[in-house]
């Protein structure tokens, strides 16, 4: 049995993880998992804890929280050079839990815990995005999806204006605020060297199939094929966007004439207007941005 280090984000799921953690901890002890744990204390603390766990030689590092916690843990593994030597476990206690839907990891904590005893490893891709952050350039890995435009503006509004509401209320307020104010952008979009100029609502690069709180964004995405599924929502009006949002939840949006999906390994986006960026639901910065697929970069206990 692998020795495990659990990184627990008590703020995930609008604070519900703090209430769930004692039950999860006691269940893990009853089923015999050998583990120690840390609680995060601030944003980005999970990265530091993941780096420390790699330095201490843990082979199984488990994220207990939401998709944002997974993102931080993976970035910590990357910055410590531990991606090739560590298996990532996931006990999802967040609001959306989009990533585990693609991987088939149970949402129920007790079922997810049992999979950690003798983990079946699944090798999956990661994404890397380089982007603007003030006057500098920055870089971040993502596990599930990253996007520019409408979805990133929702993430920005949610985190900067409505975070105090927590969870789904904060997201819904961010969504409604963005629907009222969003303007489409004129962009240059390059996918594996093929360049196009267009006006868009959003561009999303996906490894997983779900994003944005159970939206079926990329119905055919394969997290192990070495490619992004690149969704482009073109120059839709606000009424069109509102009318078609339910279709994104059902995965039937790809028949819309202003929506396209292609696969690619490298995507570049620049914009004439300010265009914001999110990765795994976290607001990061803005265009210009370059997305690069990292094939078979992570082992997950799935």
Instruction: For 12-67, write each residue's pLDDT tens digit.
Output: 988 999 999 999 999 999 999 999 999 999 999 999 999 999 999 999 999 999 99
Q: Do residues 261 and 233 touch, judged by C-beta distance below 8 A?
A: no
- CATH 3.40.50.10330 in the chain, residue ranges: 4-119
* Res 148: pLDDT: 98
* Res 1: pLDDT: 64
Tell me the CATH class for 126-296.
Answer: mainly beta
Whether the predicted pLDDT of 273 surpasses 70: yes
* Res 3: pLDDT: 87
Split at pLDDT 50, 70, 90, the class of 212 is confident
Q: State the Cα–Cα distance between residues 178 and 78, nearest whole angstrom.
A: 33
- CATH 2.60.200.40 in the chain, residue ranges: 126-296
Q: Do residues 201 and 186 touch, judged by C-beta distance below 8 A?
A: no
Q: Do residues 203 and 231 touch, judged by C-beta distance below 8 A?
A: yes
Q: Do residues 127 and 99 touch, judged by C-beta distance below 8 A?
A: no
How many Cα atoms sit within 13 Å of 61 on the Cβ side? 33
Contacts of residue 232, defined as CB under 8 A and 6 or more positions apart, other chains included, come to 189, 198, 200, 202, 203, 259, 260, 261, 262
CATH T-level topology, domain 4-119: Rossmann fold (3.40.50)
Split at pLDDT 50, 70, 90, the class of 134 is confident
Q: Do residues 60 and 73 touch, judged by C-beta distance below 8 A?
A: no
- Once rounded to an integer, what is the mean pLDDT over residues 257-262? 97
Q: State the Cα–Cα distance between residues 53 and 88, nearest whole angstrom.
A: 12
Whether the predicted pLDDT of 168 surpasses 80: no
In the chain, DSSP finds a helix count (H) and a strand count (E) of 8, 15
Contacts of residue 42, defined as CB under 8 A and 6 or more positions apart, other chains included, come to none
Q: Do residues 48 and 76 touch, judged by C-beta distance below 8 A?
A: yes
How far are the Cα atoms of 115, 175, 191 from residue 240, in angstroms, in the given order? 43, 15, 26
Q: Do residues 227 and 293 touch, judged by C-beta distance below 8 A?
A: yes
Q: Do residues 259 and 235 touch, judged by C-beta distance below 8 A?
A: no
Q: State the Cα–Cα distance between residues 64 and 66, nearest whole angstrom.
A: 7
- Once rounded to an integer, what is the mean pLDDT over residues 239-254? 92
* Res 164: pLDDT: 76
* Res 160: pLDDT: 84
Share of the chain above pLDDT 90, in %: 84
Largest CA distance in the chain: 58
Return the structure tokens found at 138: 């920055």
């Amino acid at each position: 049995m692998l020795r495990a280090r659990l990184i627990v984000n008590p703020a995930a799921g609008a604070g519900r993880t703090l209430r769930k953690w004692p039950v999860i901890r006691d269940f893990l002890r009853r089923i015999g998992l050998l583990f120690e744990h840390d609680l995060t204390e601030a944003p980005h603390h999970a990265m530091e804890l993941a780096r420390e766990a790699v330095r201490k030689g843990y082979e199984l590092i488990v994220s207990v929280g939401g998709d944002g916690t997974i993102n931080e843990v993976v970035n910590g593994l990357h910055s410590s050079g531990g991606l090739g030597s560590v298996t990532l476990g996931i006990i999802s206690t967040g609001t959306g839990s989009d990533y585990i839907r693609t991987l088939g990891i149970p949402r129920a904590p007790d079922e997810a815990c049992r999979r950690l005893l003798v983990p079946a490893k699944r090798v999956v891709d990661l994404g890397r995005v380089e982007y603007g952050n003030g006057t500098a350039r920055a870089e971040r890995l993502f596990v599930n999806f990253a996007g520019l435009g409408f979805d990133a503006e929702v993430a920005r509004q949610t985190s900067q204006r409505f975070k105090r509401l927590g969870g789904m209320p904060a997201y819904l307020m961010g969504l409604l605020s963005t629907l009222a104010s969003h303007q489409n952008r004129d962009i240059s979009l390059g996918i594996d060297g093929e360049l196009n100029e267009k006006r868009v609502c959003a561009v999303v690069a996906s490894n997983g199939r779900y994003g944005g709180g159970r939206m079926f964004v990329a119905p055919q995405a394969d997290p192990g094929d070495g490619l992004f599924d690149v969704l482009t929502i073109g120059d839709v009006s606000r009424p069109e966007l509102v009318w078609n949002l339910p279709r994104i939840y059902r995965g039937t949006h790809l028949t819309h004439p202003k929506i396209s999906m292609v696969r690619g390994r490298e995507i570049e986006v620049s914009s004439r207007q300010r265009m914001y960026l999110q990765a795994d639901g976290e607001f990061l910065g803005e265009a210009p941005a370059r997305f690069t697929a990292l094939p078979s970069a992570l082992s997950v206990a799935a």
